[in-house]
Amino acid sequence: MNDQATALTITPINGEPRILDTDLAVKLGYERPRAIRQIIERYISHLSSLGYLAPHRVAQLRSNGATHFVDAYYLNRKQALFIITQAGRQTRRNDGLGPARHRISPGKHRGNPNVAKRDL
């Protein structure tokens, strides 16, 4: 089954629905879902202003067999929407954080039909 067609797992934290950062990255089509954490780290101050970030320490197994601990983040709705907009910007910058197919269609930018593709 296509990962982008599956539903996101909602995890309640302090009574607020949250989604795991890497689950969001899979929905966005990232080849390396952990790469979304680069965006989170870059904007951690702003994300914190949108609510408690809910970090969760997880162990990752490296290719050499060693265990590496990292912070995973459970995002609230506002934080997730902000990350989605930043992931789109990163894709347009072509820095490898997201797939190129996640571009805004020409003439569909926020309902303004006068926005040309070159303006995106």
Per-residue pLDDT reduced to its tens digit, 40-83? 999 999 999 999 988 889 888 888 989 989 899 999 999 999 99
Q: What is the predicted pLDDT for the residue at 90?
A: 58
Q: Which two tokens stand for residue 25?
A: 């990255």
More confident residue, 87 or 109: 87
Percentage, residues of the chain above pLDDT 70: 68
Please give the helix or strand (H or E) that residue 16 lies within, else none. Answer: strand 16-20
Q: How far is CA 9 from the centre of its chain?
A: 14
